[in-house]
Amino acid sequence: MNEFQPLVLGIDAGGTMTDTLLVDEHGRFAVGKASTTPRNESEGFLESAADAARQWGLSSEDTFEKLSVVLYSGTGMLNTLLSRTGRRVGLLVTRGMEDAVLMGRGLQAWAEYSYPDRLHAVTHAHPEPLVPRNRIRGITERIDQFGNETIPVYEHEVVQAVEELLEQDVEALCVCCIFSYVDDKHERQIADVAQKVLADRGVEIPVYLSSAVRPVVREQSRLNSVIIEAYAADKSREQLVGVEEAAQGQGFRYGVQTVLSYGGLAGVRYPRLHETMISGPVGGILGAKYIGDVIGADSVVVTDMGGTSFDISAITRGNVPIENEPTLARFKLNLPTIAMDTIGAGAGTIIKVDPLTKKISLGPESAGSSPGPVAFGMGGTEPTVCDCDAIMGRLNPDYFLGGKVKLDIEGAKRVLQEKVADPLDIDVYEAAEGMANLLEMDAKEAIRQMVSARAVDPSEYSLMAYGGSGPLHMAEYSRGLGFKNILTFPFAAAFSAFGCTTADYLRRYSRSVQLTVPPEASAEHRKQVIEEIDAVWAALADAARREMAEEGHDPADVQLEMFAMMRYTGQLEDVEVPIPLQQLSTDSGLDMLVGEFERLYTSINRAVAHYREAGHSVTELGLIAKVDKIKPKLVRQPLEGKKASREAFKGTRNMYYNREWHEARLWEMDLLRPGNEIEGPAVIEHPATTLVIPAGDRVWVDEWTILHYEHA
């Protein structure tokens, strides 16, 4: 009988590779990889899962029949937005707001532009709108900011608008009215009229309401959120449902879960699927938080380098940063998201040399999974950083993906010579290392900028490096930054998938409010504030328990954590204040909420920034609903000797580093034991990743089998 009993399967479908982490009931891991298949993601999913199962000598059917949880994360929805391949959407808005989509916001119109391009507006172009102007109709209606109806809905305009949009073959309808976050009755009325028109015409298309998708202030972000839900979410849902059907076809008994942008899990039929837009990178931050809690590292900078991008974030004193209004794919959204920075710097980045100026540029294009780098032998014709790593001997040509891909070293060398080395008139190996160093410099500069922007003191933080290419390039992009320690993992390539397996079932609900607590507020005013806060929390709690029950969770298992977005009256930025109460009820509860706000405000801005004389404002109320899930566990093992076993040693290979060749000792990562130390020049190989150690540096393995990197 096989000793492994699979429990949780986590999948991260990136732009290049689909990574799997299989976890058993004793906390042991198996890593699988396969090329991402964007046309049908279930194919890459099954291949990657089967690869992980093979590590334990299991078939796919044996594995899926035993699993309790399958988690799937990826960037399919984001790719739909970037490629503009979503649904044909029609939009109904408050009359006078028909140009809101075209106008956008300056913050999103200039997003992702470099500093020079922001200086020279001649290079600027607005993002292409998801809904063109000819598919937008204004409806006469108005509810004011206090929830009073000032103009009723002109229903005949709704009928005419829907009929005109149906003539344009729209596949979904969105409704967004001003101040619907205060009172949504006009949006519901418009939707009811629209549904009658659709029924009369015999048409079945979904109708989305901004007040149902994201009932919070800032109509531009709310508008973007509802449009993206209609435009991209259902196309992504089709892929996720396909993944679920593929898993169930292999014997899985439950529903597949996906990862929300703020760190929870939801079923693939979750009604606000746009909240999963960046589920892949989020998994890595969740994994870093989980491991940090286990090993006692509460302040961590995380770095994820794959084939396409380089993601960075910082966890400070155990707090995962949340951005309430992120810009994604050049859209400003009302979508709480784990904050991170991303640049186009992965090992699949394409290298270009201008034939006239000899200027070198990396990306932003990536070779992706198909055709991939030249070394993959799948038809790639452009040199990439991965090709550079291959010809410098840093990658094992016979062991890439455990030997499933035989690297074409000569083909990569020939293309790099022709398109990079010859135009620059330098040696091909010097060119290869130069390109790798450029990638590492870009990554290091991105870390520096993030550290500076978030006031991070590296000496107080651990750096975690993961992703398929993270261990390959971490030696240089971490050098000289002054971090307390530098960590990577045997499952680095599937670390984001690992992070997904550490998440709980979680939902976040919120609603905008307009509440003020003046410094000398009367007892009656304070009572009204308390009653309104408790009423909103109670309504959100009912919605949370109802939705969680619809996904099969026992309402008794649902844990609720209330929060309020607060500021000193007159300020522009909010602070999210969690509070360990289900309701305020009394003056003492309100005092506790204000006290928690001031404590958090002090920790962020220092005590001298207090401004109690202005009073306090509550702009949003919400809650987080959570149900605990089975998680993997790291197993602590006794330290053994510094010398690695003979079985772990794989021989030597020539490796080009610092403009000279070295005889690097080769080691198998999974055979290293706690306490082992490896000194450079060396290469530690794993079927899914490679850790390069230049001369003078060293790596040692701790009791959790985490690899610690130390510079000379």
pLDDT digits (tens, 9 = 90+) for 68-85: 889 888 777 777 777 788
pLDDT computed for residue 90 by the predictor? 96
What does the angle CA 660 – CA 665 – CA 666 come to, to the nearest 5 degrees? 120
Does residue 215 share a domain with residue 141? yes
Copy the structure tokens of residue 269: 């039929």
Inter-axis angle of helices 587-605 and 523-550, to 10 degrees? 80
Parallel, antiparallel or unpaired: strands 682-686 and 689-693 = antiparallel
What does the angle CA 513 – CA 517 – CA 519 come to, to the nearest 5 degrees? 160
> Model confidence over 127-167: pLDDT tens digits?
788 899 999 999 999 999 888 999 999 999 999 999 999 99
Q: Does residue 315 lie within any of the structural domains?
A: no
Reply yes or no on whether the pLDDT at 692 is more than 80: yes
Of the pLDDT bands very low, low, confident and very high (cuts 50, 70, 90), residue 114 is: low
Does residue 608 share a domain with residue 588? yes
Does residue 123 share a domain with residue 40? no
Does residue 220 share a domain with residue 102? yes
Q: Does residue 569 lie within any of the structural domains?
A: yes
Parallel, antiparallel or unpaired: strands 649-657 and 660-668 = antiparallel
pLDDT computed for residue 113 by the predictor? 66
> Model confidence over 384-435: pLDDT tens digits?
999 999 999 999 999 988 888 899 999 999 999 999 999 999 999 999 999 9
pLDDT computed for residue 115 by the predictor? 65
Q: Does residue 249 lie within any of the structural domains?
A: yes
Does residue 145 share a domain with residue 57? no
Ramachandran assignment for 401, one of left (phi > 0), alpha (psi -120 to 50 degrees), beta (any other):
left
Contacts of 656 (CB under 8 A, 6+ apart): 392, 393, 394, 429, 432, 433, 662
Least reliable range by pLDDT among 25-29, 191-195, 313-317: 25-29
The secondary structure element, H or E, covering residue 42 is helix 41-55
Contacts of 255 (CB under 8 A, 6+ apart): 244, 267, 268, 269, 551, 552
pLDDT computed for residue 152 by the predictor? 96
Cα–Cα distance, 613 to 568 (Å, whole number): 9
Instruction: State yes or no: cis peptide before 371, omega within 30 of 0.
Output: yes
Q: Bridge-partner residues for 400, per DSSP?
A: 405
* Domain boundary, last residue among 179, 208, 232: 232
pLDDT computed for residue 621 by the predictor? 95
Task: Give the range with max mean pLDDT: 102-116, 234-248, 249-263, 406-420.
Answer: 406-420
Q: Does residue 355 lie within any of the structural domains?
A: no
> Model confidence over 480-517: pLDDT tens digits?
999 999 999 998 988 988 888 888 888 889 888 989 99
Does residue 248 share a domain with residue 128? no
Q: 0.85 cut: is pTM over it? A: no
Looking at the structure of the chain, the number of domains it has is: 4
Does residue 592 share a domain with residue 695? no
* Edge-to-edge strand ranges of the sheet holding 136-139: 136-139, 89-94, 172-176, 207-209
The secondary structure element, H or E, covering residue 526 is helix 523-550
Of the pLDDT bands very low, low, confident and very high (cuts 50, 70, 90), residue 38 is: confident
Contact 412, 374 (CB under 8 A): yes
Does residue 252 share a domain with residue 131? no
Inter-axis angle of helices 41-55 and 234-249, to 10 degrees? 40
pLDDT computed for residue 435 by the predictor? 96
Does residue 243 share a domain with residue 201? no
Cα–Cα distances (Å) from 510 to 75, 147, 205, 386, in that order, read: 25, 17, 27, 44
- Mean pLDDT value of segment 105-116: 68
Does residue 518 share a domain with residue 614? yes
* Domain boundary, last residue among 232, 267, 292: 232
Of the pLDDT bands very low, low, confident and very high (cuts 50, 70, 90), residue 569 is: very high
Q: What is the CATH number of the domain that holds 176?
A: 3.40.50
Reply yes or no on whether the pLDDT at 640 is more than 90: yes
Reply yes or no on whether the pLDDT at 15 is more than 80: no
Least reliable range by pLDDT among 291-305, 595-609, 635-649: 595-609
DSSP 520: T
Q: Does residue 548 lie within any of the structural domains?
A: yes
Does residue 66 share a domain with residue 87? no
Q: Does residue 367 lie within any of the structural domains?
A: no
Of the pLDDT bands very low, low, confident and very high (cuts 50, 70, 90), residue 2 is: low
Does residue 104 share a domain with residue 73? no
Q: Does residue 632 lie within any of the structural domains?
A: no
- Which residue is associated with the tokens 């933080």? 461
pLDDT computed for residue 527 by the predictor? 95
Cα–Cα distance, 177 to 223 (Å, whole number): 9
- Rounded to the nearest angstrom, the gap between the alpha carbon of residue 213 and the centroid of all alpha carbons in its chain is 20
Dmax over CA atoms of the chain, in Å, equals: 82
Q: Which residue has the higher pLDDT, 85 or 280?
A: 85
* Structural domain harbouring 521: 505-627
Q: Which residue has the higher pLDDT, 444 or 606?
A: 444
Cα–Cα distance, 606 to 603 (Å, whole number): 6
Reply yes or no on whether the pLDDT at 680 is more than 60: yes
Cα–Cα distance, 98 to 161 (Å, whole number): 12
The percentage of residues in the chain with a pLDDT greater than 90, rounded to a whole number, is: 58
Closest CA to 508 of 458, 592, 565, 552: 565
Q: Does residue 692 lie within any of the structural domains?
A: yes
Copy the structure tokens of residue 302: 């995380």
Of the pLDDT bands very low, low, confident and very high (cuts 50, 70, 90), residue 660 is: very high
> Model confidence over 333-354: pLDDT tens digits?
777 888 888 877 888 889 999 8
* Domain boundary, last residue among 171, 199, 232: 232
Q: What is the mean pLDDT of the chain?
A: 89
